[in-house]
Amino acid sequence: PDGWVMVPKRLTAENGAKGALSGEFSETTFISCLECFGDDDCDTCDGSGRIEIKVPVTWSTIKSIWDKGIEYFAAKPSQEVK
């Protein structure tokens, strides 16, 4: 139907998914500033004591999310109505 597409059940390097999706997703997190640990005069963190970094989402996590989506949207056998 309109708005739907066919996709592979599993993500693999062989079907091109690993190359297409690796490095596409990240999460933002904060770490302690390694220069000052909160010094007001720090040029690296502007005195906040924290630095924002982007952490890539792992390939294993991407596959797990995909698997959950496939599980949710998989066609269910139709129920017999009596």
32-72 residue pLDDT tens: 998 887 767 888 898 889 999 999 999 999 999 999 999 99
Mean pLDDT, rounded, of the chain = 90
Total domains, the chain: 1
Phi, psi (degrees; rounded to nearest 5) at 59: -60, -40
6 domain residue, yes or no:
no
61 domain residue, yes or no:
yes
Query: What Rg do the C-alpha atoms of the chain give, in angstroms?
Result: 22
68 domain residue, yes or no:
yes
pTM exceeding the 0.75 threshold for the entire prediction = no
Position 80 scores a pLDDT of: 63
Position 23 scores a pLDDT of: 94
Quote the domain boundaries for residue 42.
22-72
SS3 21: helix
